Amino acid sequence: MFKNRKDAGQKLSLLLEKYQGKNVIIYGLTRGGIPVAYEVARFLNVPLEALIVKKLGAPFQEELALGAVTEGEEPCVYYNKEILSHMHLRENDLKSVIQRKMAEIKELQKKIRPENKMLLTPEATAIVVDDGIATGSTMKAALKFFSNIDQSRIIVAVPVGQRSVLEELREFADEIVCAEPVMYMEAVGEFYEDFKQVESDVVLAILDEARKAITKRS
């Protein structure tokens, strides 16, 4: 059990100590992964960037993830085919959901990245951080994003994750780092005392603080 995302990030950081000061960029998944990623980036003394990923919720059941979509010139979409099949849905049935999520992504981009320049360095190691992994939809979309830009090395780092899903991710990542792998979870929030929603202004403030820290060190 973690007190909050800050506590989770600090504990996760200790498992990534070997990357301290190396050619690494931390990518926090919006929005909940950003506070966790900030603690990791600060501990490792490396840059922090956001990757905007939106979960594709089921019609009339938004919390059920049918997949996820990322930002980018060519957004990456991951479909949870097992759940789609169970609900008798096809990928085409999610077109309107994807369009709505892309509009949300563009609005968030304007807020957190007004110059529209994402920090991407394919030769660096990308450590992709979220606050936890239950179904893995958002992380799988993120890993697809980094695979598409030929990132040299991709590491998944989370405070807590379902073991079976973490094993699935090994196909897409070079390394999986998880502070608390668990056999089963219904929701990531079960493992936090404080799991309140992270608002866009908080994300913006964290990213601004991280950029200032990097500027001071350079």
Those residues with Cβ within 8 angstroms of residue 49's Cβ, 6 or more apart along the chain or in another chain: 25, 26, 27, 28, 118, 119, 120, 207
List average pLDDT for each run of 10 residues in the chain, which is 218 residues long: 97 97 95 97 95 87 84 92 88 89 94 85 97 94 95 97 96 96 94 95 93 66
Token pair in block for residue 108: 């968030």
Full-prediction pTM beyond 0.85? yes
Say whether 126 sits in a helix, a strand or coil.
Answer: strand
Q: How far apart are CA 100 and CA 95, in angstroms?
A: 9
What lies within 8 Å, CB to CB, of 139 at 6+ separation is: 29, 128, 130, 133, 156, 158, 169
Q: What are phi and psi of 166, to 5 degrees?
A: -60, -40
Residue 183: Cβ-neighbour burial (10 angstroms; 0-12, 13-18, 19+):
exposed
**What is the distance, to the nearest Å, from the Cα of residue 138 to the centroid of all Cα atoms in its chain?**
7
Distances from the Cα of 167 to the Cα of 58, 170, 206, angstroms? 25, 5, 31
Write the pLDDT tens digit of every residue in 58-97.
Answer: 776 776 789 999 999 889 999 998 889 988 888 888 888 9
Q: Which domains does the chain have, with CATH numbers?
A: 5-53+117-217 (3.40.50.2020)
The pLDDT score that the predictor gives to residue 5 is: 98
pLDDT given at position 215: 59
